[in-house]
Amino acid sequence: MFKRFRRVRVNPIIRDLVEESRVETRDFIYPLFAKEGKGVKKEIVSMPGVFQMSVDEIIKECEGLLKLGLNKILLFGIPDVKDSIGSDALSEDGIIARAVREIKKVYGKDLLIATDLCFCEYTDHGHCGILDLEHNSVDNDATLEITQKQALIHAYSGSDLIAPSGMMDGTVEAIRDVLDENGFVNLPIMSYSTKFSSAYYGPFRDVAESCPSFGDRKSYQMNFSNRREALAESLEDEAQGADILMVKPALAYLDIVRDIREASLLPLCVYNVSGEYSMLKAAGKAGVIDYEKVLMETLTSFKRAGADIIISYHAKEAAELLAKSKGYL
């Protein structure tokens, strides 16, 4: 006798009862981009609905996020002045340090602030650390030294979660060591543990003003063809002390998400990146897809693949849709 799978699909209530993967508002981290100045809220053409904002505007934005049930943000800094080593990221008066302090003054423990730890937004060359001019790339170990300094700036400013994204070898160990040595033993690290060199990042470089002035990032970000290396990268960061792992981008790398999920017991995050966001927005605007349905299907695919956490520019829209589906709005 054949199995009648349709028995558990006959009506919405039983379908809901046996549903395996669910997206919830608590799954999301919402990225925000802090810009110098006051009253600044500049929409990014390539990312409709995404803005560069001054800290006062971010504080207003966070009030709206909390009303939607979104209580976790990922903060990026965009300084006015950039130099060869990203000095603004190493200053207690830099944009990211001031932003964290000001947001914390208003929201305290009601809002979790994760801080992206990298140098591409802060350097005049757009690469993720100190340049090795002889090899026309980034000096891994010299960058680790300033990465430690940046991590302490974030920690003393009040970051709740350090998120290193530069893909230098040894980053997690270097950060864990310096945090522990300075009394931040309970400050967790969410590593961009498997971050691919991807064309899906294009619109992000508009909002973060981080496009490399020469070359590319293939010497430190991962080859998108490599599956075994992708798993090894995340397992190495786990061994170095990462508390949360990440795959970036998300949509084209669900096989990697599943591989890591099956190999590690750590919480696993995906970054639903700018190109993925902008493509859905464009397709919705063109009328070729039912935007809201495709959005929720896409987000559910991340959970089904094994992700626990989703960083997404869609988070506000998703939270509204989830609230409506539950009758809250």
Give φ, ψ of 134 to 5 degrees: -60, -40
Given the candidates 3.30.565.10, 3.40.630.10, 3.20.20.70, 3.40.50.2300, the CATH classification of the domain at 5-325 is: 3.20.20.70
Q: List the structure tokens of 240.
A: 């170095």
Helices (H), 130-200: 140-157, 171-181
Instruction: Break the chain into its structural domains and give their ranges.
Output: 5-325
E strand or H helix that includes residue 15:
helix 12-17
| Active-site amino acid positions | 195, 248
SS3 36: coil
Q: pLDDT 10s digit of each residue in the chain, 329 long?
A: 999 999 999 999 999 999 999 999 999 999 999 999 999 999 999 999 999 999 999 999 999 999 999 999 999 999 888 888 888 989 999 999 999 999 999 999 999 999 999 988 888 887 788 888 777 788 899 999 999 999 999 999 999 999 999 889 999 999 999 999 999 999 999 999 999 999 999 887 777 666 666 667 777 889 999 999 999 999 999 999 999 999 999 999 999 999 999 999 999 999 999 999 999 999 999 999 999 999 999 999 999 999 999 999 999 999 999 999 876 54
